[in-house]
Chain A
Amino acid sequence: MRKLYILVAEDDVDDRYLLETAFAEKGYVEELTFVENGVELLDYLNNQLASPEGAAANLPRFILLDLNMPKKDGREVLKEIKEDIRFKKIPVIVFTTNKNENEIRRCYELGANTYIVKPVEFSALLNTVEDIRAYWMNTAEIAG
């Protein structure tokens, strides 16, 4: 049986590095899988469903989604995931630098489960990693 994992959609190499470092420091680096934009994210999810091992079990425990990405940005892909009956139960955590209230409201309207502003200190990032992992990996379930 495949291990529970987190799918991270992040185009920025520095942010990928920082997340990887933070997860590694906390001992969870093997849980991360990266895609670099919205198109890759949807392709990945579709491929997982199509793989011989089976369906829902291959999907990530939750998705960490950056908003500003090339090809298909976070808002578009969030909308598509939440409108797709196969993927809508996957929790989506928007992870962005944007603090704009309208943006936050819009993301929740599109179906985001959590909205987290990227921390500006590494120690804060470590705490964020710990918190979101503890909550979304072990505790929360999306109502069907």
Chain B
Amino acid sequence: MPLPLSSIKNILAQGYFFPKMGNYLKIRKNSLSYLAVGFVLTLLVLGVFVFISNRRLSALIDYSDQVEHTYQVIEKIEMLGNLAKDAETAARGFVITKDSVYLEPLFEARRQIPRVLWALTQLTNDNNDQQLRIRKLSVTLQNRLAILNDALQLIQDGVYEKVMTQKMKTGKAMMDSFRSQLNEIKTEEQRLLKIRFAKKETYRQLTPAIFKQTSIIIGLVALVLFIFLVIELLRRLGYQKALQQQLQALKQSNDELTRLAFATSHDLQEPVRKMRIFADRLLSKQGSAQHSEEQMLLTRIDVSARRLQGMLEDISNYMNLVEHDETKQTISLNNVLNALLKRNELAIEASGAVVKLKILPELLVYPQQLNLLFLALLDNALKFSKPAEPAKIIIYSEQVTGDQLKNMPLAVLHHSYWVVHFKDEGIGFENQYREKIFQLFQKLHNNTQYAGKGIGLAICQRVMSNHHGFIIADAAPDEGADFQLFFPIN
């Protein structure tokens, strides 16, 4: 089904078909913020978890080591007690039997006791009280062993038994003192063991609980994030689907436009051409009856047909920009404009126009299309100069960032732009028409005031969209117009 002309004009005037991306970009930014916060939160929880777990585990290991250490001290204390007992028993056996065989455990105890005492001293170097006790115990034990030695010597020397008995009594008292001191040390260690064991148990029970709780928290956060991700993914799939549908519609619309372009560029031009040629034939046949009404009517038909033909040609030229096969080249815009100004030297001179061309950038562009664009702007500036005042045109460039152009929806798509200003001091126009002027066949003046069919600026807009850029105009009545071409910088 053929498209009505009004919708064709609208489609043509829109140039590129952009889906309404504003909401999508907003939603996408919010979702990404939530996700970023979620991930930061998870990382924080993980960090705290790792820190606490590390502390807990270190404490658990410390207390386990301390318990182990206390067990070692107790073991040494018991060993010391046993050695002292062995020595005592050996001495008694010898006293009774006078047989030196019984003395062997005593000698062994003498060898072992200093080592055990040294080990005990080392093991308790973190506890001053215990160290003092051990030193005291050591003295007692040495004294006891000395008395034992004396007693045994007396026996070997056959000394009177009364002296012997006295030594035995002193030895017993010392042994009792030794036992008491040993018990004191042992009791202290057992007290410490109890405390340390209790702490170890506390940490042993707490650590898995913390692991469990933290895992639950991380699991919950991960679940929330996963749900967010799924929602975001579904939303994006929805947008993707909508985008695909729009792309499909766009493709269909483009195909129709292409067919339409062929129809306008050839098929529709045929009948118009014939109208013109037959009207011309009739006019030439009317040659003798000049200024007749018929001739006037025929001339009007011819003028209208000529205008229609021109418009059809414009559409055809415009569509050539849509379906172009030109390749991009890196070229200085100064070169493009200098060549253009040279080619139009006569027209510029005839109008008395002054063109100032500043330094412009070198860009990757479609040279022929840019030529069309600048030609349209030049034509525009010459056409809309002030009456009896030659056109003054200045062309210059500047670089801007996308952030500086936040009020232009399309500008945010790129980080930065080269902006080429094509500024004239002509009749200008009301700024309210700044968008309308770029639409195909839109004109602010009628045919009798200014010639033209309203295609030039539409071509400019199309050329800029082919370069993924855009064009805007800033103007005021009687103050001229500033056409700004935005070329994205990649």
Contacts and interface: CB of A to CB of B under 8 A. Distances in A.
A118 B280 contact: no
B266 A120 contact: no
Interface stretch (A30-38, A79-87, A121-129): A121-129
A14 interface: yes
A12 B271 CA distance: 11
Interface string A40-70: 0000000000000000000000000000100
Interface in B97-118: none
Given A97-B266, A97-B269, A122 B274 contact: no
Interface string B229-269: 00000000000000000000000000000000000011001
Contacts of A14: 274, 278
A24 interface: no
Interface in A76-109: 97-98, 100
Interface string A16-36: 001001000000000000000
B284 A122 contact: yes
Contact of B277 (A68, A98, A100, A122): A122
Given A97-B266, A97-B269, A98-B266, A121 B280 contact: yes
A68 B266 contact: yes
A125 B266 contact: no
Contact of B280 (A15, A98, A122): A122
B273 A118 contact: yes
Contact of B276 (A98, A100, A121): A121
B284 A120 contact: no
Interface residues of B, number: 14
B273 A122 contact: no
Nearest to B275: A120
Contacts of B278: 14
Contacts of B274: 14-15
Contacts of A122: 277, 280-281, 284
At the interface, is chain A mostly helix, strand, loop or mixed? loop
B281 A120 contact: no
B484 interface: no
B181 to A, nearest CB: 116
A67 to B, nearest CB: 9
Size class of the A contact interface (CB-based, 8 Å): 10 to 19
Interface in A114-144: 118-123, 125
A68 B262 CA distance: 12
Nearest to A68: B266
Contacts of B273: 97, 118, 120
B276 A120 contact: yes
A120 B277 CA distance: 5
B403 interface: no
Nearest to A118: B273
Contact of A125 (B269, B277, B306): B277
Nearest to A18: B277
Contacts of A21: 281
Contacts of A100: 265
Contacts of B265: 100
B277 A121 contact: yes
A15 B309 CA distance: 17
Nearest to B325: A102
B280 to A, nearest CB: 5
Nearest to B309: A120
A119 B266 contact: no
Contacts of B269: 97
B75 interface: no
B149 to A, nearest CB: 126
Contacts of B270: 12, 97
A125 to B, nearest CB: 7
A123 B280 CA distance: 8
A119 B277 CA distance: 8
Contacts of A123: 280, 284
Contacts of B280: 120-123
Nearest to B305: A120
B314 to A, nearest CB: 13
Interface in B54-84: none
Given A14-B274, A120-B273, A122-B281, 10 more contacts: A15-B274, A97-B270, A118-B273, A120-B276, A121-B276, A121-B277, A121-B280, A122-B277, A122-B280, A123-B284
Interface of B: 265-266, 269-270, 273-274, 276-278, 280-281, 284, 306, 309
Q: Which 8 A-B residue pairings sit nearest by Cβ, starting from the closest?
A: A122-B281, A121-B280, A122-B280, A120-B276, A120-B273, A14-B274, A122-B277, A120-B277
11 contacts: A12-B270, A14-B274, A15-B274, A18-B277, A18-B281, A100-B265, A120-B280, A121-B280, A122-B281, A123-B280, A125-B277
